[in-house]
């Protein structure tokens, strides 16, 4: 491995890689070895695409049909692997993408510029963030070119509709603002995730990327062992998961803001803290597919399977209703057996 090359792999790449046919996954792993030896080799067709909105993005050849999308560094040897797909699909994915470093939050940001010009609401219209200044939105990482977009949002539904047009971290912070979380608390979490000596390896920066340190580590992850990477916690999430509460707690957030990962670590905390109890912790979900995923993922956290019962909420209700030990009361005068 050429140690002069620093390779950053983003969660977007992992998502795309997991959908590839097994044979192409193998070719992709072989490509990465070549890439680390010489990232601009003619053998991998390192190519600048002139119709991309972000001219720092490059495509590289996996084989005659598949391409990966890479961000080329302005200086230094840090390369960011962002996507892999069929040639046409990879081109389509990358053409409107923007990749940048946000110094305010110390985070790498990937987002898609809207195709149409954003029409700002008139001054009489109330939006989600009418009471915030541009400086406030910039302080949580909102890119300058997306300020108008954020300004026009009037509902959480609109926010979700524009999710792909926002960096993941900004979508998360904006959702919190829309949910009533004070700006000061969000800024406090951002500050907690910063690093003075090496900003590009801060907790904020590592929230959605994996830094390759050796070939064996990369091979292990790309062979399917994603669990440790997927259950990484940002400082604000860790604070939620490992805090000692006096009662019930409600955690809200939009899709992709880390609620499930936070809940998994909460299980870990409770298992370690309450190891004197002989009954498992109950974890309910709304979908069967998530139940199966969680049952596999808890192994990556070292949680014994017999200490957690993960079950779909509909199945749980059905089992309770059919258990002779329980009796369900429709009202105070009627007993349903």
State the pLDDT at residue 214: 72
State the pLDDT at residue 322: 80
Closest CA to 94 of 72, 117, 73: 72
* pTM for this entry: 0.71
Task: Spell out the domain ranges in the chain.
Answer: 1-106+201-223, 113-192, 235-336
| Fold for the domain defined by 1-106+201-223 | YaeB-like fold (3.30.2310)
Residue 192 near residue 236 (C-beta atoms within 8 A) = yes
Helix (H, G, I), strand (E, B) or coil at 282: strand
What's the rounded Cα separation, in Å, for the pair 23 and 88? 19
CA dihedral over 152, 253, 222, 102, signed as positive or negative? positive
| Fold for the domain defined by 235-336 | Rossmann fold (3.40.50)
Token pair for 84: 């892999």
What's the rounded Cα separation, in Å, for the pair 327 and 121? 55
Q: Which helix (H) or strand (E) holds 97?
A: strand 97-102
State the pLDDT at residue 1: 44
State the pLDDT at residue 262: 83
pLDDT in tens, the chain (337 residues): 444 678 898 888 988 988 899 899 999 988 988 888 888 777 788 888 999 999 999 999 999 999 999 998 877 788 999 999 999 999 999 999 999 999 999 999 999 987 776 665 565 677 889 889 999 999 999 999 899 899 888 888 888 888 889 998 899 899 888 888 899 988 988 998 898 888 988 888 888 888 877 777 677 667 655 555 455 666 667 778 888 888 888 887 666 667 888 888 888 888 887 765 677 888 888 777 677 778 777 776 778 888 888 888 888 888 888 877 766 565 555 544 4
State the pLDDT at residue 236: 66
What's the rounded Cα separation, in Å, for the pair 234 and 329? 44
Backbone angles phi, psi at 66, to 5 degrees: -105, 145
Query: Any idea how long the chain is?
Result: 337
State the pLDDT at residue 275: 66
Pairing of strands 209-211, 66-71: unpaired
């Amino acid at each position: 491995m050429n140690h002069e090359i620093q390779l950053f792999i983003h969660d977007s790449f992992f998502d795309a890689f997991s959908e590839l046919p097994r044979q192409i996954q193998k070719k992709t792993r072989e490509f990465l070895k070549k890439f680390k030896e010489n990232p601009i080799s003619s053998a991998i067709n390192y190519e600048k695409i002139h119709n991309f909105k972000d001219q720092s993005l490059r495509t590289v050849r996996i084989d005659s049909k598949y391409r990966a999308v890479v961000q080329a560094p302005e200086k230094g040897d840090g390369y960011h692997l962002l996507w892999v797909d069929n040639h046409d699909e990879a081109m389509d994915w990358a053409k409107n993408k923007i990749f940048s470093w946000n110094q305010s939050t110390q985070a790498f940001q990937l987002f898609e510029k809207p195709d149409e010009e954003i029409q700002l609401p008139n001054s009489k219209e109330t939006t989600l963030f009418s009471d915030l200044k541009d400086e406030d939105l910039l302080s949580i990482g909102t890119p300058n070119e997306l300020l108008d977009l954020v300004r026009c949002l009037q509902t959480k539904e609109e926010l979700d509709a524009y999710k792909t047009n926002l960096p993941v971290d900004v979508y998360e912070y904006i959702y919190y603002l829309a949910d009533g979380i004070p700006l000061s608390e969000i800024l406090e979490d951002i500050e907690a995730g910063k690093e003075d000596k090496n900003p590009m390896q801060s907790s904020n920066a590592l929230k959605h990327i994996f830094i390759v340190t050796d070939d064996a580590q990369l091979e292990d992850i790309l062979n399917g062992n994603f669990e440790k990477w997927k259950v990484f916690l940002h400082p604000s999430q860790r604070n939620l998961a490992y805090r000692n509460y006096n009662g019930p707690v409600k955690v809200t957030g939009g899709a992709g803001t880390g609620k499930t990962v936070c809940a998994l670590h909460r299980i870990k905390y409770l298992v370690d803290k309450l190891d004197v109890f002989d009954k498992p912790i109950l974890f309910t979900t709304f979908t069967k597919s998530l139940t199966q995923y969680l049952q596999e993922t808890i192994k990556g956290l070292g949680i014994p399977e017999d200490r957690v019962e993960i079950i779909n909420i509909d199945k749980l209700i059905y089992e309770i209703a059919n258990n002779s030990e329980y009796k369900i009361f429709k009202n105070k005068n009627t007993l349903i057996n």
